[in-house]
């Protein structure tokens, strides 16, 4: 444990090195996730912070995403007489790509930066060293609840964003293209499959783990006082967004390779 935390804190600040840090911290997380006792209170507190307190901004994200998609594509589809297909286009893009990725970015900025700042403040004030001196495991008590909560909450937040995004698209389709809501949803029922939702769900579980893990890594390796805390929060958001995009490409490529280039 001491060697791991020492490596996390003292390793140079380089992107590839930090990717290695995420890998090592992930291994430490996997070795402790099923170890008793389970930090129930910390887990519930993280669910409230990551999930419940993010509902409002996630709902707004989904609403405006669905509306903007119809505004951007509506005129073109109407020109070709294809406005009746706007509903399935909005639903598929939101469910498979925009919903998971944009929700991940928003949670990384809102929650990931907060986690990095919290652990960073504990690191520079030597609270983590004090926990080790008392025989406590900082990764078990601090990292595990946050990562589990991120993996649980982000899929639910994304599902909310997807639903509200589709409803927002319905409103704009009715106003701009005069597509009846009944027909709008009938097209979605015909064209959208369970696999379209599952593709986004798989991504969000991974994205939630990435956000929490990266935030914990940058928080634990914070140095330089209050300035270092702000720097760690900023870097955690940037690295989380980069890894989300990389993971999105890898997961999408894997699903296409397994199920084909058609519908999953």
CB 90 within 8 A of CB 192: no
Q: Is residue 211 included in any domain, yes or no?
A: yes
Tokens read off for 162: 């997807």
Tokens read off for 247: 């993971």
Q: Is residue 216 included in any domain, yes or no?
A: yes
Q: What is d(CA 262, CA 92) in angstroms, rounded to the nearest whole number?
A: 12
In sequence order, what are the residues at sequence separation of 6 or more whose Cβ sits closer than 8 angstroms to the Cβ of residue 4? 24, 25, 28, 139
The total number of residues shown for the chain amounts to 264
Tokens read off for 201: 């769900």
CB 192 within 8 A of CB 91: yes
User: Within 10 A of 180 (CB to CB), how many other CB atoms are there?
Assistant: 12
- Written as one string, the DSSP assignment of 122-133 is HHHTTHHHHHHH
Residues spanned by the domain of 80? 2-256
Q: What is d(CA 42, CA 222) in angstroms, rounded to the nearest whole number?
A: 22
Q: Is residue 264 included in any domain, yes or no?
A: no
Q: Is residue 95 included in any domain, yes or no?
A: yes
Tokens read off for 232: 């760690």
User: Within 10 A of 230 (CB to CB), how many other CB atoms are there?
Assistant: 16
Task: Say what the pLDDT of residue 13 is.
Answer: 46
The domain total for the chain is 1
HSE-up (13 A, CA, CB side) for residue 112: 31
Q: Which residue reads 């009746």 in tokens? A: 84
Q: What is the mean pLDDT of each run of 10 residues along the chain (264 residues)?
A: 52 57 84 86 93 94 92 76 78 91 95 93 88 84 94 95 93 87 86 84 94 93 86 92 94 84 55
Among residues 42, 66, 77, the alpha carbon closest in space to that of 178 is found at: 77
Task: Say what the pLDDT of residue 79 is.
Answer: 73
Task: Say what the pLDDT of residue 263 is.
Answer: 56
Q: Is residue 213 included in any domain, yes or no?
A: yes
Q: Is residue 261 included in any domain, yes or no?
A: no
Q: Is residue 147 included in any domain, yes or no?
A: yes
């Amino acid at each position: 444990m001491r060697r791991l935390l020492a490596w996390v804190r003292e390793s140079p600040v380089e992107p590839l090195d930090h990717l290695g840090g995420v890998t090592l911290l992930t291994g430490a997380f996997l070795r402790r996730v099923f170890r008793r006792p389970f930090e129930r209170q910390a887990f519930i507190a993280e669910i409230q912070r990551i999930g419940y307190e993010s509902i409002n901004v996630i709902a707004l994200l989904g609403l405006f995403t669905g509306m903007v998609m119809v505004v951007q594509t509506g005129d073109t589809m109407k020109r070709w007489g294809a406005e009746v297909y706007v509903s399935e286009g909005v639903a598929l893009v939101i469910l498979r790509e925009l919903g998971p990725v944009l929700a991940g970015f928003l949670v990384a900025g809102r929650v990931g930066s907060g986690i990095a700042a919290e652990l960073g403040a504990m690191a520079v004030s030597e609270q983590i060293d004090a926990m080790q001196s008392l025989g406590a495991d900082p990764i078990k008590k601090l990292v595990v609840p946050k990562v589990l909560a991120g993996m649980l909450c982000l899929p639910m937040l994304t599902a909310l964003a997807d639903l509200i995004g589709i409803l927002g698209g319905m409103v704009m389709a009715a106003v701009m293209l005069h597509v009846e809501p009944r027909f709008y949803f009938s097209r979605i029922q015909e064209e959208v499959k369970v696999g379209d939702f599952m593709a986004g769900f798989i991504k969000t579980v991974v994205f939630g783990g990435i956000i929490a893990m990266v935030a914990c890594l940058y928080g634990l390796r914070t140095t330089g006082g209050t300035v270092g805390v702000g720097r760690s929060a900023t870097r955690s958001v940037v690295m989380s967004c980069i890894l989300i995009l990389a993971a999105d490409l890898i997961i999408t490529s894997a699903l296409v390779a397994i199920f084909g280039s058609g519908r999953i």
